[in-house]
Structure 1
Amino acid sequence: MSFQIIEQSPKYDVCIVGSGAGGGMAAKILADKGFKIALVEAGPNFDPANPQQRTQLRWPWESPRRGAGTMRPFGDFDMAYGGWELDGEPYTRAQGTEFDWFRSRMLGGRTNHWGRISLRFGPLDFKRKDFDGKGDNWPIGYDDVKPYYDKVDKLIGVFGTRENIPNEPDGYFLPPPKPRLHELYFQKGTSKIGIPMIPSRLSILTKRVNKKRAACFYCNQCSRSCSVYGDFSSSSVLVNPAMETGKVDLYTNAMVREVITDGEGNATGVHYINKEDLKDYRIKAKVVILAASACSSARILLNSKSSVHPNGLANSSNVVGKYLHDSTGSSRMAFMPSLMDRKRYNEDGVGGMHLYTPWWLNDDKSLGFSRGYHIEYWGGMGMPAYGFGFNMENLNGMVPGIDGETKKAGGYGVELMKDVKRFYGSLVGMAGRGESIPQEENRCEIDKEKVDKFGIPVLKFHYKWTEEEVKQAAHMQDTFEEIISNMGGMALGEKPGKDSSYGLENPGRIIHEVGTTRMGSDPKKSVLNKYNQAHDVPNLFVMDGGSFVSQADKNPTWTILALAWRASDYLADEMKKGNI
C-alpha cells in the first residue's frame, strides 16, 4: 500500500514512540545526554497541574455525570484518556478468547492513573525456569538490573522499608505512611496464619526529592494524577524535565502506523497519521525506539512489512506478538461489623495501600501451581459508596444492635441516611496479583480483515488461561476467606468456585500485559537482545513491557523504567562509538 507522506524535518537522532514509563525514561536519559529527540504520542498533551485538565480535588457533583463511570472505566475523574474500548479503534478476538486490551491515549499514558506499586523483580524472577522448569529464563539477572533499580529509586522516589526478604529486593526508600485502621485489622488477620504483611512500596513522595515536586498531602486521589507532582507519572516526572532541555520535540495526537525502513532493512523513521487533520506524516531519525506498550509496539512491528522484512519488522524469529501474558487477578470483599458506626476523621492517606503481602511460599512446591502472587488491600473512609448486595437478614446475630431485625438495608430518606452513616467505612477488600507462565500460543496478530478509523490494520488476540492460573486463583480465594475469618469479618457474596475459575479475571483486566517482543540470546527464539535492541535491526529498540521474558507477581512498571534506562545508556554509548 502506498501513501502520500508529508516529510517532517529535521532528521532526529532518536524517534521515540510512546511517552509512558519506557518512552518517558528514554526521552529523559537521552535528552540529558544531548541527543535530539522526537517524542511521538497518540493522545493529547497532559499536565495534571493544568486547571483545564486537573481532576484532583474535584467533587462528584462537578462531573456532568455526577461521578458515574459512564465516560471512563474507573470513573469520570480517573486520569486515563482511554479504556478497554476506544471509539474507532477496535480489536478482535479469536473464538474462546476473552482478552481485554486497555489503552490510554495521553502524554504519560497509563502512568497517569496506575496504582504506583513499585516493586523490583527479584533474583528468582529472572530465572524461574531454573526453579520450576517452566517457561524461559531471562538472558539477564537481577545483578544486571540492580544498578538501574537503584537509579530509578533515587530519581523518582519510592516509599517502603528494608525487610531482607530474599526475592523481594530492598531499595532506597522514603519513609512509609503509617497503617490505617482497616489495614491494622488485615494485619491481625494475616499474622494469625503466618502470612507476612509489610509496608507497601509505592512511588509516592512522603518527602521532597527535588524542588519541582512537592510531598504527598494525603488526599487519596493518586488515580487522578497529582497536581503537585507528588506521585510518579511519566508526563510529570520524566517528560517535562526532558522537554526543558530543549532537546525534545513533542508530537501529540500522532497515531503511528509503521516504522519506515531503507533498502537494507534498517529503520529510518516512523509513519504516523495526525489525528487532527488525518494526513500522513513521516519523522526521520537515525534510531527508532518503540515504547507504545507491549501490544501496540507489536502491532507497529507487524504492520511494518517490506521486501527485507516480509513477516513484519524485527520478526525473522516469528516471535513478535507471541508469549503475550498478563498478571492473574482474583479478589474478595468483606464486611467488618467492628468498623460500623465509625468516628469520622481524616485517614485518607495515599491513593493506594499502606501495607501489602508479598509472596510468601516460594519454597513450597506442593501447591499445585508454580508461580506466586502478592495481596493488595483496600478499605477506609474514602468518598462514600453504598450497597452490599444482600439483605440485613444476613447479619442477624452478628452486628451489634440489630439482633432480630429483618428489615432490608436502605430504603428512602431518613432510613437510607441512617444506613449509610452506619456502614460507612466498614467495607474492606483484597486482591491477588499473580504471575502466569508465558505460553507461545497466547498472542496478538494482525487481523487481515479489519482496520481502525485511521486505516491501520488492528490486532486480533488469542489467549486462554491454563490450569496453573486457575489453581492459583483458587488458592487466593482460600487465603482471602481465612484472612477475613481471622480478622472478624464476613466475606461478601458466594465464594467463587470452579465454574467461574475462582474469580480469575479475564486476561488484560489487570493491565500488566507484557512479553510480545521478548528478549533473549538466540535470535531464532527472541526479538530483542539483552539491551532491548532488535536482533534483526540494530537501530531499532523496544523499551516497554514487550521485552519481558516473564512477568513476576510484581507490577511491571519499575522494571520497565529500569530496563529503559539501561537500554538508553547502552544506545547512547553505541551511538557515540559510531556502532549505530
Structure 2
Amino acid sequence: MSFQIIEQATKYDVCIVGSGAGGGMAAKILSEKGFKIALVEAGPDFDPANPEQRTQLRWPYESPRRGAGTQRPFGDFDMAYGGWNIDGEPYTRESGTNFDWFRSRMVGGRTNHWGRISLRFGPLDFKRKDYDGKGDNWPIGYEDVRPYYDKVDKLIGVFGTKENIPNEPDGYFLPPPKPRLHEMYFKKGAEKAGIPMIPSRLSILTKRVNKKRQACFYCNQCARSCTVYGDFSSSSVLVKPAKDSGNVDLFVNAMVREVTTDKNGNATGVHYIDKTNLKDYKIKARVVILAASACSSARILLNSKSSVHPNGLANSSDVVGRYLHDSTGSSRMAFLPSLMDRKRYNEDGVGGMHLYTPWWLNDQKNLGFTRGYHIEYWGGMGMPSYGFGFNMEALNGSVPGRNREKKKAGGYGLSFMDDVKRFYGSTLGMSGRGESIPRRDNRCSIDDNTLDKYGIPVLKFNYEWSDEEVKQAAHMQDTFEEIIDSMGGVALGEKPGKDSNYGLENPGRIIHEVGTTRMGNDAKSSVLNKYNQAHDVPNLFVMDGGAFVSQADKNPTWTILALAWRASDYLADELKKGRI
C-alpha cells in the first residue's frame, strides 16, 4: 500500500508515542535534559482544570444521558475518552477467546481515571521462577529499580505506612487518610479471620509536594481527574511540566500506523494519520519510544514490516505480542445489618480505598495455585451515581426477622424512598486482584483481514485462563465469604462456582495487560534488554507495560513509571555519548 505522506519539517531527538504513565515520564525526563521531543497522542489534549473538560463536582443530573453510554463505560463523568469498544476501532478474537481490550484516547491516557493504587513490586515479584519454577525471571531485580521507585514516590506523592512486609516494599509515604466506618468493619472481620489489612498506598496527595499541586479535598471523585492536580495523572503531573520546558511539541489526534525505518532497519520516526483530516504524516526522529500501552505498542511493531524486519519491527524472536497477561479479578458484594439506619454524614474520603489487604500467604505452598492476590474494598455513603439502587426484596430477606414479612419491599414512591434511606450505606464489597502466569500462546497478533477506519490492520487476541487462575479465583471467593461472615455481614447473591470460573473476570477487564514486548537478556526469547531497548533496533525503546516479564499481584503503573525513568536516564546517557 502506498501513501502520500506529509513530512513534518523538524527532526526531533526523540519521538514518543503515547502520553500515559510511561510516555509522560519519558517526555518529562528527556525534555528536562534538553532533548527535543515529539509527543504523539491518539486522542485530544486534556487538562482536568479546563472548564470545558471538567467533570469533577458535576451533579448526576448534569449527565447528558444520565448514565453510562457506549463510549463511556464507567459513566459520563469518568475521565476516560475511550473504552473496551471504540467506534471504527475494532479488534477481533480467536475462537474461544474472551479478551476485552480497553483503550483510552486522550493526553495522559488511562492515568486520568485509574484507581491510583501505587504499589511497588517486591524482590520476589522479579524472581518468581526461582521460587515456584513457573514463568521466567526478570533480567533485573528489585535493587535495580528501587532508586527509581524512590524518585517516583518523591516526585508524584503516594500515601501509606511503613509495614516492613518482605514482598511489599515500603517507600516514601505521605500520611494516609483515616479509615471510614465500613473499612473499620472490614478490618475487624479480616483480622478475626487472620487476614491483614493495612493503609492503602495511593498516589493522592494528603500533603502538597510542590506549589503547582494542591492536596486532596476528599471529594471521592478521582476517576473524574482532579482539577487541583491532587491525584496523579500523567496529563497534569508529567506532560504539563514537560511542555513547560519548551522542548516538547505535542501532536494530538494522531493515530500511529507504523515506525518508519531506513535501509539498515533502524528507526527513523513514525508514520501517523491525523484523525481530524485523515491525512498521513511522518515525524522524523533519532530515537523512537513506544509507550502506547502493551497491546497498542505491539500492534505498531507488528504493522511495521520491512525487508529487514519481515516479521514486524524488533520481532526476530517472534515474541512481540506474546506472553500477554492481565491481572485476575473476582468480586463479591455483601450487606451489613449494623450499617442500616445510620445518620447521614459526609464520609467521601479519597477516590478509592483507605485500607487494603496485601497478599499474605507467600509462605504457603499447598494452596493449589502458585501466585497471589491482594484485596480491594469499597462501600460507604458516597453520592450515588445514576442508576444507583437496590434489590430491595433481596436486602429485606437478609435482615433478621424481615424475610418472613408478607409485604414486598419498596417498589416506588415513598415506600421505596424509605427503604433506600434505611439501606443506604449498608452495602459494600471487595475484589481480588491477582497475578496470572504468563504463557507464550496468550497473545495478540495482526488480523490482516480487518482494518480500522484509518486503514490500519487491527489486533486479534488469543487468550485463555489456566487452572492456576481459576483456582486462585476460587480461593478469593472463599476468603470473601470468610471476611463477610467474620464481620457479621451477609453475602449477596449466589456464591460463584466452577461454572463461572468462580467469578473470574474476562482477561483484559482489569485493564492491567502487560508482557507483549518482554525484556530479557536473550534476544532469541525477548524483545527488549534490561533498559527497555529493543535487541534488534538500538534506537527503539518500549516504555509501557509491554516490557513486563511478569505482573505480580500489584497494579503495574508505579513499575511502568520507575522503569520509564530508568530507561530514559539510560537513553540520555547513550545519546550524549554518541552510542545511539
Residue 62 (structure 1) aligns with: 62
Alignment correspondent of 2:394: 391
1:186 pairs with 2:186:
yes
Write the distance in 1 (CA, Å) between the matches of 2:398 and 2:377.
Answer: 23
Distance 1:209 1:138 in 2: 32
Is 1:506–2:506 an aligned residue pair?
yes
CA distance in 2, matches of 1:516, 1:265: 21
In structure 2, stretches of 5+ residues that fail to align are none
Q: Secondary structure at the match of 1:145?
A: helix
Conservation of the 8 A alpha-carbon contact between 2:68 and 2:74: no
Maintained 8 Å contact 1:19/1:292: yes
Taking the aligned partners of 1:255 and 1:500, their CA distance within structure 2 comes to 37
Contact 1:328–1:469 (8 Å) recurs in 2: yes
- Given residue 485 of structure 1, which amino acid in structure 2 is its aligned partner? D
Q: Which amino acid aligns with 2:335?
A: F
Give CA-to-partner distance per residue, 1:289-347, whole Å, 9 cap, x none.
00000000000000000000000000000000000000000000000111011111111
1:540-566 CA distance string (max 9 Å, x none)? 000000000000000000000000000
Q: Residue 388 of structure 1: CA displacement?
A: 2.8
Kindly provide the CA deviation profile for residues 334-374 of structure 1, in whole angstroms up to 9, marking residues without a partner as x. 00111011111111000000000000000100000000000
8 Å CA contact 2:337–2:399 kept in 1: the answer is: no
Counterpart contact for 1:324–1:442, Cα < 8 Å: yes
Taking structure 2 as the reference length, the TM-score comes to 0.99
- Distance in 2, Cα, partners of 1:448 & 1:423: 53
Q: Give yes or no for contact 2:326–2:514 (8 Å, CA) kept in 1.
A: yes
Kindly provide the CA deviation profile for residues 438-483 of structure 1, in whole angstroms up to 9, marking residues without a partner as x.
Answer: 0000000000201000000000000000000000000000000000
Can you list the C-alpha shifts for 1:200-220, whole angstroms capped at 9, x where unaligned?
000000010000000000000
Say whether the 8 Å CA contact 2:79–2:224 is kept in structure 1: yes
Deviation at 1:396, TM superposition (A): 5.0
Q: Is contact 1:391–1:407 with CA below 8 Å preserved after alignment?
A: no
CA drift of 1:514 comes to 0.1
1:454 aligns with 2:454: yes
State the AA in 2 paired with 1:397.
P
Look up the SS of the partner of 1:10 in the other structure: strand
The equivalences for 1:309-320 within 5 A come to 309-320=309-320
What is the rounded CA distance, in whole Å, between the counterparts of 1:132 and 1:389 in structure 2?
47
Aligned to 2:242: 242
Give the Cα separation in 2 of the matches to 1:329 and 1:565. Answer: 29
Q: Which segment drifts farther, 551-560 or 379-388?
A: 379-388
Q: Take 1:136 and 1:423, find their aligned partners in 2: how far apart are those partners?
A: 48
What SS does structure 2 have at the residue aligned with 1:155?
helix
Q: Identify the residue that residue 565 of structure 2 maps to in structure 1.
A: 565
AA matched with 1:539? N
Per-residue Cα deviation, 1:45-70 (whole angstroms, up to 9, x for no partner): 00000000000000011111123445
* Contact map agreement 1:70 1:76 (CA 8 A) in 2: no
Could you tell me how far apart the structure 2 residues matched to 1:68 and 1:457 are?
29
Q: How does 1:15-34 map to 2 (within 5 A)?
A: 15-34=15-34
How far did 1:389 drift?
6.9
SS of the equivalent of 1:514 reads: coil
Task: Please tell me whether residue 112 in structure 1 is matched to residue 112 in structure 2.
Answer: yes
> Is the 2:15–2:285 Cα contact (8 Å) retained in structure 1?
yes
CA distance in structure 2 between the aligned counterparts of 1:439 and 1:390, rounded to whole angstroms: 44
Q: Could you tell me how far apart the structure 2 residues matched to 1:355 and 1:499 are?
A: 32
After superposition, the C-alpha distances for 1:169-202 in whole angstroms (9 at most, x for unaligned) are 0000000000000000000110012111000000
Q: Indicate the residue corresponding to 2:219 in structure 1.
A: 219
Counterpart of 2:394, as a letter, is N
Q: Distance in 2 between matches of 1:265 and 1:502?
A: 48
C-alpha separation in 2, matches of 1:403 and 1:7: 72
Matched, 1:285 2:256: no
Matches within 5 A, 1:11-50: 11-50=11-50
Alpha-carbon distance between aligned partners in 2 of 1:287 and 1:475, rounded to the nearest angstrom: 46
1:424-449 deviations in Å (ceiling 9; x for gaps) = 10010000000000000000000020
Contact 1:396 1:404 in 2 (8 A): no
Q: Give the direction of change, closer, same or farther, for the CA distance of 1:136–1:390 in structure 2 (3 Å limit).
A: farther
Shift of the 485–30 alpha-carbon distance from structure 1 to 2, 3 Å rule, reads same
The whole-number CA distance in structure 2 between the counterparts of 1:257 and 1:553 is 33
The one-letter code matched in structure 1 to 2:390 is G
| Counterpart residue identity of residue 27, structure 2 | A
Determine the structure 2 residue equivalent to 1:3: 3
For the Cα contact (< 8 Å) 2:346–2:382, is it kept in 1?
no
- The residue type paired with residue 76 of structure 1 is D
8 A contact 2:255–2:273 mirrored in 1: yes
For 2:126, the aligned partner's letter is F
Q: Following superposition of structure 1 onto structure 2, how do residues 307-386 of structure 1 map, counting pairs within 5 Å?
A: 307-384=307-384, 385-386=388-389
1:431-442 equivalences under 5 Å are: 431-442=431-442
Q: Determine the C-alpha separation between the residues in 1 that align with 2:392 and 2:72.
A: 24
8 Å CA contact 1:396–1:405 kept in 2: the answer is no
| Residue 397 of structure 1: how far off its partner (Å) | 2.3
1:170 maps onto 2:166 in alignment: no
Count of residues in Structure 1 that have an aligned counterpart in Structure 2: 577
Distance in 2, Cα, partners of 1:314 & 1:79: 34
Alignment partners' CA distance in 1, 2:403 and 2:170: 49
Alpha-carbon distance in 1 for matches of 2:538, 2:399: 69
Query: What's the CA shift for 1:411?
Result: 1.0
2:257, 2:210 → 1: CA distance?
Answer: 38
Alpha carbons of 1:371 and 1:389: their partners in 2 closer, same or farther (altered >3 Å)?
farther
Query: Matched residues in 1 for 2:164 and 2:370: separation?
Result: 23
Tell me whether 1:419 sits opposite 2:419 in the alignment.
Answer: yes
CA distance in 2, matches of 1:267, 1:558: 28
CA apart distance, 1:407: 2.5
Question: How far off is 1:395 after superposition?
Answer: 2.5
Q: Cα distance 1:220–1:308, how it changes in 2: closer, same or farther (>3 A)?
A: same
Q: Is the 8 A contact 2:333 2:430 kept in 1?
A: yes
CA contact (8 A) 1:19 1:39 kept: yes
One-letter amino acid matched to 2:493 = G
**Per the alignment, do residues 396 and 19 of structure 1 end up closer, same or farther by CA in structure 2, a change over 3 Å counting?**
closer
Tell me the CA shift for residue 531 of structure 1: 0.0
| 3-state SS of paired residue (1:329) | strand
Which stretch shows the higher mean deviation, 64-73 or 283-292? 64-73
User: How far, CA to CA, are the matches of 1:298 and 1:424 in structure 2?
Assistant: 45
1:127-152 deviation line (CA, Å, top 9, x unaligned): 00000000000000000000000000
Residues in 2 aligned to 1:450 and 1:403: alpha-carbon distance in whole angstroms: 54
CA shift, 1:383, in A, is 1.7
Structure 1 CA distance for aligned equivalents of residues 47 and 195 of structure 2:
40
Identity of aligned residues (%): 84
Distance 1:466 1:392, change over 3 A: closer
Counterpart residue type for residue 245 of structure 1: S
Partners of 1:142 and 1:493 in 2: CA distance:
41
* Matched-pair contact (CA < 8 Å) for 2:14–2:288: yes
What amino acid sits opposite 2:62 in the alignment?
E
On the 8 A contact 1:265/1:309 being kept in 2, the answer is yes
Q: Distance in 2 between matches of 1:33 and 1:502?
A: 50
Q: 1:72 maps to which residue? A: 72
**158-167 or 185-194, larger mean C-alpha shift:** 185-194
DSSP 3-state at the match of 2:9? coil
- CA drift of 1:410 comes to 2.3
* Distance across 2 between alignment mates of 1:49 and 1:117: 22
Distance 1:46 1:62 in 2: 20
